[in-house]
Structure formats: C-alpha cells, structure tokens
Amino acid sequence: MKKVMILWVFLLPLALQAQEKKNKNAKATFEVSGNCEMCKKRIEKAVLTVKGVKMATWDIPSNVMSVIYDSNKAPLKTLQGEIAKVGHDTPLVKAKDVVYDELPQCCLYERMPEE
C-alpha cells in the first residue's frame, strides 16, 4: 500500500504537468463579426498581440475565429477583449461604438442589436 502511495506522489506532478501541457495548446473557436480581407488582418493581428496566443485564423465566410492558445496565460475573454478593442464584436466583449465607427467602409459589418 505504501508503495502505491509513493508511486502516486511521484506520478502526481507528472499528471499535473501533462494536464498543464494540454492547456498550453488549448483550442477554441468563436464568432467574430467582420467582413473582409482587411478585417481578417486586423482581427488576427489583434489576437496575436496577446501573450500566449500561438495561432489565430479567422475565416471570412463563416466569421469563425479558431485560436490555439495557452489557456493558463490568456483567458478567452482577454483574447476577445483585444479583438473588441480594434472594433470587432465578439461573443464575450463588444466593441465600443467609437472604435466601430472608425473602421473603413468595407469593414462596417452589420451589428447585432444588443439584448
């Protein structure tokens, strides 16, 4: 029984590390409002400024953002916050009207009415 316990203690950090490692490359997809190639550049650039974000691809037709990120370093809300800062609405954070209004003509996506 003791042996088993020791083994457990020994394995625990390993298991934790494995868990952590998994989070290091967490995957998430969420919708980001936008229209065009210019939006794509802006949105992807904004997400990549967040430390811990490794890859970000925003698909124009479906408006879906796929990210691979270190969930220990950056919660989803932070990522979405950065996107909202450059004028694009996300499920968790909405862009400020002033920022939205500053977007180039082609990027003025249709905004969902607020709840």
User: In the complex, which residues of this chain contact another protein (CB under 8 A)?
Assistant: 22, 25, 27-31, 33, 41, 44-45, 48, 51, 53-56, 59, 62, 64, 66, 68, 76, 89-92, 94, 112, 115
Q: How far is the CB of 26 from another protein (least distance, A)?
A: 8
**CB closer to another protein out of 11 and 28:** 28
Residue 27 near residue 67 (C-beta atoms within 8 A): yes
**CB closer to another protein out of 6 and 60:** 60
Q: Phi and psi (nearest 5°) for 44?
A: -65, -40
**CB closer to another protein out of 6 and 61:** 61
Q: What distance in Å separates the CA atoms of residue 40 and residue 110, rounded to the nearest whole number? A: 16
CA 44 to chain centroid, in Å, comes to 10
37-48 and 76-85 helices cross at what angle (nearest 10)?
130
Q: How far is the CB of 12 from another protein (least distance, A)?
A: 20
